[in-house]
Amino acid sequence: MTSPKARFAFAANPRALEDLRQAPAHIQDLVLLHLQDLVHGEQRGPLLHHWFGQDLSDCRKLYVDPQAAWRIVYQERRAPTNSAHRREIFLIAVGPRLHNEVYNTAVHRLGRERTAQAPLAQAALARSPRFLARTSQSASAAAARPAAPLPLDSFSRKAPR
């Protein structure tokens, strides 16, 4: 039986191959199957965008395991001129999704810095000066008031009904 012809060349960041070696054995097997599907053009991950100020818009991701705890971050890019293929799959990182670890690794390996946040994101993360003034006023007013005594029945030993 012949294997399907590869539609893409394959290249990898050497540290991504080290990621693969460090992964648990069952994850290694799944990653290799996904990479084979990518090279044969049988699978394609969704595009990434900006992740918390990190530009990965030219990268794609694949979920490795059924729990989606592990990810592959890769690029589809033009292959070198001496390649038999016009495009190549370039493996950037393999790693756990936890705490965005794999995405942070990919940004670092691509030599990218955090980008400035979009104005909408800045606005969403910013606190309104009016909100801050209101909360500080209510906090100072609450501190100035004496605490109200608790009713005696709140100290009852009977179980609530």
Give pLDDT tens digits for 130-161: 666 665 666 666 666 666 665 655 555 555 55
Q: What pLDDT score was predicted for residue 1?
A: 43
Q: Which domain, by its residues, includes 59?
A: 9-109
CA distance 95 to 116: 25
Closest alpha carbon to 61 in 113, 97, 19: 97
CA distance 30 to 61: 14
Quick check: is 57 in a domain? yes
Quick check: is 33 in a domain? yes
Quick check: is 46 in a domain? yes
Residue numbers of the chain with a pLDDT score lower than 50: 1-2
pTM of structure:
0.68
Quick check: is 82 in a domain? yes
- Which tokens hold the place of 72? 């592959």
Rg (CA), the chain: 26
- Which tokens hold the place of 8? 């893409």
CATH code of 42's domain = 3.30.2310.20
What's the total number of domains in the chain? Answer: 1
Neighbours of 92 (CB within 10 A): 25
Q: What pLDDT score was predicted for residue 50?
A: 77
Quick check: is 99 in a domain? yes
CA distance 60 to 74: 5
CA distance 132 to 141: 14
Quick check: is 140 in a domain? no
Q: What pLDDT score was predicted for residue 71?
A: 97
Q: What pLDDT score was predicted for residue 153?
A: 58
- Is the CB of residue 94 less than 8 Å from the CB of residue 19? yes
Quick check: is 94 in a domain? yes
Quick check: is 132 in a domain? no
